[in-house]
Amino acid sequence: MCEYRTLISFQGDVLINQYKYEKEPAKMGEGGRLDKLDEITSKHRGDPDFMLSLARGLQVLLAFSDKSLPSSTADIARRTGLDRAVARRCIHTLECLGMLSREGKRFILGVNVLNLGHAYFSSIDVVQRAQPLLDTLGDAVHTNCALAMLNRGDVVYLVRSQSRRLTKQSLGMGSRLPAHCTSLGRVLLAQLDQAALDAYFHVTHRPLITPYTVTDEALLRSLLKQVEASGFAIVNQEVGMDLIGIAVPVKIKNFEPQLALSVTVSTRSTAPEDMKNRYLAKMLDTASKLGAF
């Protein structure tokens, strides 16, 4: 079976997120990476306003979004399910627009892609208003804090407050981590209704990242029920060795996506059994203030 797997690696104290695709087709609907283009177009068959050429171009662009290494035309054609000639024309057009850059016979995302991400995050008022609150929480707990949402099986970081005590560099706005092994992800998954959760488990690959990563569906479902009952999640060294995360849900009126707030610490500074007493009250206070937006 063709699938992608997520690699979380460390260089010193620096957390690096990258996705490595192995013989990847353009697969994965809800909870995954790319939908096959024919599956997408079939949903819009007969729609005179649906632009197939634009859909193809965006699929090509998305095929680069989780790759840290340059990709060839053949790589992108395989990843999207497009004919190689079509993929080549899409890549050429995106290169002309500055969305892709050439490195020999391979391509990487171009700097103009940043304009798309900046426009999206700048348009979310919650992002702008949440940053001061996360900075205040970060100052109080002296470690990393994050606000994130769920997207296709991953948590996507919207706001970050970075502490130098934990890492020198870290995941920034728009970065992604798999939901199944993060405290943010557990909280967000626990908020899904039964149909959405079933769809998540049906289509989403859950990679084993550390020896402690829980990937078994039955066990994950049991853990999610515990999270739902307790109102918070603690995940110990499942996404990275020596890292513990605690997260709580954030509900903002008139803001549709479900959100979660997390604090991440090193096992060298805090034991798992101390996480609740040390951080939960401050996090719930911040979540309440975020919910008052």
pLDDT per residue rounded down to tens, the chain (293 residues)? 223 233 333 322 333 333 332 333 334 343 334 555 667 677 777 888 989 899 899 889 888 865 557 899 999 998 888 999 999 999 999 999 999 999 999 998 887 886 776 666 655 677 788 999 999 999 999 999 999 999 888 998 888 888 765 554 456 677 889 999 999 999 999 999 999 999 999 989 899 999 999 999 999 999 999 999 999 999 999 999 999 999 999 998 877 788 999 999 999 999 999 999 999 999 999 999 998 87
pLDDT number for residue 142: 92
* Residue/partner pairs of 282-289 with CB below 8 Å, 24 or more apart: 282/137, 282/140, 282/141, 283/137, 283/232, 283/246, 283/247, 283/248, 284/248, 286/133, 286/134, 286/136, 286/137, 286/145, 286/261, 287/248, 287/249, 287/250, 287/261, 289/133
pLDDT number for residue 12: 27
Left (φ > 0), alpha (ψ -120 to 50) or beta: where does 38 sit? alpha
Which DSSP helix (H) or strand (E) runs through 270?
none
Q: Give the whole-angstrom CA distance, residue 67 versus residue 65.
A: 6
pLDDT number for residue 2: 28
What is the value of pTM for the model shown?
A: 0.68
Picking from 155, 148, 170, 225, the residue whose alpha carbon sits closest to that of residue 10 is 170
Q: Give the whole-angstrom CA distance, residue 260 versus residue 78.
A: 35
Q: Give the whole-angstrom CA distance, residue 86 versus residue 174.
A: 29
pLDDT number for residue 152: 80
Cβ density class 105-134: b for 16+ within 10 Å, e for less: eebebbeebeeeeeeeeeeeebeeebbebb
pLDDT number for residue 213: 97
Q: Give the whole-angstrom CA distance, residue 64 versus residue 81.
A: 14
Task: Provide the CATH topology of domain 34-116.
Answer: Arc Repressor Mutant, subunit A (1.10.10)
Q: Give the whole-angstrom CA distance, residue 213 versus residue 238.
A: 4
CA-based radius of gyration for the chain: 20
Q: Give the whole-angstrom CA distance, residue 275 versus residue 280.
A: 7
pLDDT number for residue 31: 33
Q: Which CATH class is domain 124-291?
A: alpha beta
Q: Give the whole-angstrom CA distance, residue 71 versus residue 80.
A: 12
Break the chain into its structural domains and give their ranges.
34-116, 124-291
